[in-house]
A and B are shown apart, each in its own frame.
Chain A
Amino acid sequence: MQTLTQRLANPTRFMELSGSVLPWIAGAAAVVIAYGLYLAFYVAPPDYQQGETARIMYIHVPCAWLAMAVYAMVAMSAFGFLVFRHPLADVSAKTAVPLGAAFTFLALVTGSLWGRPTWGTYWVWDARLTSVLILFFLYLGLMALRSSIEDDSLASKLTAILALVGIVMLPIIKFSVDFGNTLHQPASVLRVGGPTIDTAMLTPLLVMALGFTLMFVAMHFKAMRNEILRRRVRALQLAQVEKAQASQLAAAE
């Protein structure tokens, strides 16, 4: 008797299932983001201090959340790959890294654009900014390490080890950069004692966060499917080359 995860971990089963689910998730992402944008631009009130510029929050905050959540997912996939040796976990880790890097980059850029009118500068060496920037470098390191090793299975294992080292180091890095003072506002949604943000702004934010998460899931599924197909094509090509070599040898004899 297989468990649900075991059944889903079969690449063929995964291809079938993700193929049928993907259009729905992508559609849901589009609808939710469209609704979220409508809420953000027409329904949510402008901030009493920052005015209209605060609306960039509805893009910035979901990106920042995903930047961290995707790294956690990469690390979990890496763990799954190292412990259970399942190729699908590696496919998941490999394809999530560029997406996570993209969200981190967007969080940095939107934050920088938001910082200019409100803090008066594009960049400050503040604790949160610094730790997100370092997170971005960790993503880049994962991509660079994987692309620098020719042997694919070796590259997967080494990248998985690096991802786990990274997840151990991240809290320490976060703690160390928090050591200094911070300009960034403290966490205002997920905190003990309930959110400090008003419902009129919280609702669009949560809708956008849901939409961005759905978008990530859709893109991740698509990327995983592409990667599986790429590996199959490669296996077929290798098989063809071997076959051709074998027939050449046979002809020579």
Chain B
Amino acid sequence: MSAFLALLKRDLMLSVRQGGALGTALGFYMLVVTLLPLGLGQDLNLLSRIAPGILWIALLLAALLSLGRVFSSDHEDGTLDVLATGRMPLEMVVGAKALAHWISTGIPLALTAPVLGLMLNLDIAVYPLLMATMLVGTPAVSFIGAVGAALTLRSYRGGLLIALLVLPLYVPTLIFGMAAVNGLLGVSGTSAAMLILAALSLTSVVLCPFAAAAALRVQMQ
């Protein structure tokens, strides 16, 4: 467990100190949200209606953008090989790295959403719910993304390919995230959608490390 925490701490420190990874993701997030009203027209009623969807999709894209570096830099300098030969199971290594990605990318993106929501004329009453769905849903984004990052570790065109592999798998997270925000099913439906979203996140936290570790093992033989 101490190895797990040490790895988590190391990855978090790297994400803070090693060249603005978080800044890039946040900047991308804001830019997507800025471009959409320019493309869709400045009708504030329309924007406030579709704001949760814009914010969720921009969040998925921004998180996707930062997935590439979950394993690649450690793979290049050999750290991943050291970790793989260490005593900690590779599944736990993947878990620590995905968790670090969630803390360093998922949470900041979710916390930035209200600021961008102001720009989209989103009703302030919706903010707590929107942030809650994002905080509950982003672990699934990070852990499913880790599988994609592990699979594309040694491919050319890694960045584009990861999008093609991972975005279809984000569909359930997006749908239930939106269902919870929009309250499609009334007040009780919101909590149901929230629970399903939590279930998605917890399931991917449990299952995805196995798939990602299998993919990493195959590539390090």
Contacts and interface: CB of A to CB of B under 8 A. Distances in A.
Contacts of B154: 149, 151, 154
A134 B169 CA distance: 9
Given A148-B157, A169-B169, A173-B168, 9 more contacts: A137-B164, A144-B164, A150-B156, A151-B154, A161-B214, A162-B151, A168-B207, A177-B175, A180-B175
B141 to A, nearest CB: 14
Contacts of A150: 156
A154 B207 contact: no
Interface in B133-171: 147, 151-152, 154-157, 161, 164-165, 167-169, 171
A162 B167 CA distance: 13
B168 A158 contact: no
A46 interface: no
A48 to B, nearest CB: 35
Interface in A133-149: 134, 137-138, 140-141, 144-145, 148-149
Nearest to A146: B155
Majority secondary structure of chain A interface residues (helix, strand, loop or mixed): helix
Contacts of B165: 141, 144-145, 162
B168 A141 contact: yes
A158 B171 contact: no
Contacts of B155: 145, 148-149
15 contacts: A134-B171, A140-B164, A145-B152, A148-B152, A148-B157, A154-B218, A157-B218, A158-B218, A162-B151, A165-B169, A168-B207, A175-B172, A177-B175, A179-B176, A180-B175
Contact of A158 (B164, B167, B172, B215): B215
A53 interface: no
Contact of B179 (A140, A148, A179): A179
A179 B152 contact: no
A173 B147 CA distance: 17
Interface in B83-133: none
Interface string B197-221: 0001000000100010011001100
A161 B175 contact: no
Contacts of B207: 168
A161 B207 CA distance: 13
A161 B218 contact: yes
Contacts of A130: 171
10 A-B pairs closest in CB distance: A148-B155, A176-B172, A157-B218, A137-B168, A176-B175, A141-B165, A134-B168, A149-B155, A141-B164, A161-B215
Interface in A99-142: 130, 134, 137-138, 140-141
